[in-house]
Amino acid sequence: MARTRSSSSIRWRYLNPVYYLKRPTRLALLFIAFVFISFIVWDRQTLVREHEEEILMLKEEVEHLQIELEELKHDGDVSVKKSNTKTKRADITKTDDLSTDPIEAQRREKVKDAMLHAWTSYEKYAWGHDELQPQSKNGVDSFGGLGATLIDSLDTLYIMGLDEQFQRAKEWVANSLDFNKSYDASVFETTIRVVGGLLSAYDLSGDNVFLEKAKDIADRLLPAWNTPSGIPYNFINLVHGNAHNPGWTGGDSILADSGTEQLEFIALTQRTGDPKYQQKVENVILVLNKTFPADGLLPIYINPHRGTASHSTITFGAMGDSFYEYLLKVWIQGNKTSVVKHYREMWETSMTGLLSLVRKTAPSSFTYISEKIGNSLIDKMDELACFAPGMIALGSSGYDPDESSKFLNLAEELAFTCYNFYQSTPTKLAGENYFFHSGQDMTVGTSWNILRPETVESLFYLWRLTGNKTYQEWGWNIFQAFEENSRVESGYVGLKDVNTGVKDNMMQSFFLAETLKYLYLLFSPPSVISLDEWVFNTEAHPLKIVPRFAPGEEQKPRIRVRTRKEGRFRGFSNSANP
């Protein structure tokens, strides 16, 4: 027992401080050992904590990436990123993608040559101005000096593969395009040409400069919608934001001018993530839908205070036209889903109204769309209304088979009439409008031709949708008439009179944006700017179709993922292109 007690007391002596006080070396060693072990424990704990933090952050990133992935699944790649559009570029411009039919190829080259001639003349004499006056060889600023022709031409240059020209135009947009101009701009013209042109160039090239500029000009236009009803005023000062309607409408807003911004502003919301653009323009349709007539035909003047129509002309021509076009195209842009169902319903209602305006000429039975005032029909049709055959053909597939073929037939009959607007004049170019008197078929009213696109636009749609090469032949004949009558040394001009062929002095920007683009596409395979993937705005600017959100559903903020270098999560960005 004594030995046991003695060995136990030997063991416990190490716990007695006196033991160490008598042996300072051991005390020092013990202290060093204690510091060393503490350090190891502390270090391990720190490492574990750091790893836990890191794991937390990685989890956070994975979650954000999952949200983003879901978002991309939901809305497609709305930002139409550069790499993707580069692939698209191959689809739309590579020569070996284009048809090898020698006649088509030859015609396409002729149209491309026409574009080159128009563009080169603009570059030489009117660079940066809105439009070229080819006879006097100078530029004019018909739209406030926003470079309308240049912006209107961007996508045409791109699609035709005129790369150097596109690059020069892009440099101008990046370095010289300035919207800070105290100018009362037309909301409609600025939207369809400038916002539409820039967005299309963005969708095709993926270059962010176009989106930034589109946002800049759209922000300047937005206050125009701040009216009691939400129906926009049609003019706005680009610097001060003062908006108004022209005196000659009696203070009313114009139907087409108020209902032709939806495609562009919805596209802008999809690409920026900012809902304000879409909300303003969609509200217009909701307001008009509240008092939408049973035949879907709205007069051309709308009171911006009450949001209701004033007594005025009903027409598919000037001041009415593209309102109906956008009802259909927003439905297409919205993937024909339930969120855009009301657009299709309104459009179909308007088509019943259109049927009530359809008449035939005597003796030759040309089908035309008359106009209406009150209960009286007016036997007149604008060349502008020749967009309607294309629109009807485009919308026909949404009907059941019987209705569908009925509408497609109507589209084909109307296109024949529009083609005859051209064929029936000595220059083979159409006048601005036509009257229909019994026994005389059609007679030109206003006899100028300002290089308008509507008939070739419809021929393009009909060729795409029916595959009937007759439409290519008709388009080629119209192109040749432009070449013969409108081509001058320094660009293309309109005619003051299609009977005499006397020329004017203006190359309209839509000649490059629309007329030549639709002609080029008429001689290109359907895969070039496929109608399944793109929707054309009313100025022929193709906008990429992407899935869209339900009204009121916020665009989820896009995530800016923390890079390893930054070492911390920086937060959210609303931009589609972080």
Residues that bind ligand DMJ (CB under 6 A): 192, 322, 384, 452-453, 510, 514, 538-539
Q: Which is nearer to ligand DMJ, 524 or 538 (CB)?
A: 538
The runs of H, that is alpha helices, within 161-237 are 163-175, 187-189, 196-205, 208-221
Is there a contact between 235 and 248 (Cβ–Cβ < 8 Å)? no
Instruction: Report in angstroms how near the CB of residue 509 gets to ligand DMJ at its nearest.
Output: 8
Which tokens is 254 given? 């114009």
Q: Which is nearer to ligand DMJ, 347 or 510 (CB)?
A: 510
State the angle between helix axes of 148-159 and 82-93 in degrees (0 to 180), rounded to the nearest 10: 70
Q: Which amino acid, one-letter code, is at 54? A: E
Instruction: Report in angstroms how near the CB of residue 379 gets to ligand DMJ at its nearest.
Output: 22
Please state, in angstroms and rounded to a whole number, the distance separating the CA atoms of residues 289 and 284: 9
Q: Which residues form the catalytic set? A: 189, 321, 432, 454
Please state, in angstroms and rounded to a whole number, the distance separating the CA atoms of residues 133 and 139: 6
Is there a contact between 499 and 444 (Cβ–Cβ < 8 Å)? yes
Q: Is the torsion defined by CA of 10, 12, 18, 20 positive or negative?
A: positive
Instruction: Report in angstroms how near the CB of residue 383 gets to ligand DMJ at its nearest.
Output: 8
The closest residue (CB) to ligand DMJ is 538
Instruction: Report in angstroms how near the CB of residue 534 gets to ligand DMJ at its nearest.
Output: 17
Q: Which is nearer to ligand DMJ, 452 or 558 (CB)?
A: 452
Concatenate the DSSP letters of all residues of 280-321 into one string.
Answer: HHHHHHHHHHHT--TT----SEE-TTT--BPS--B-SSTTTH
Please state, in angstroms and rounded to a whole number, the distance separating the CA atoms of residues 148 and 186: 12
Instruction: Look at strands 243-244 and 235-237 and give their pairing.
Output: antiparallel
What SS3 class is residue 429?
coil
Instruction: Look at strands 380-382 and 433-436 and give their pairing.
Output: antiparallel
Element (H, E) at 257: helix 255-258
Q: Which is nearer to ligand DMJ, 274 or 539 (CB)?
A: 539
Residue 289 CB burial class (10 angstroms; 0-12, 13-18, ≥19):
middle
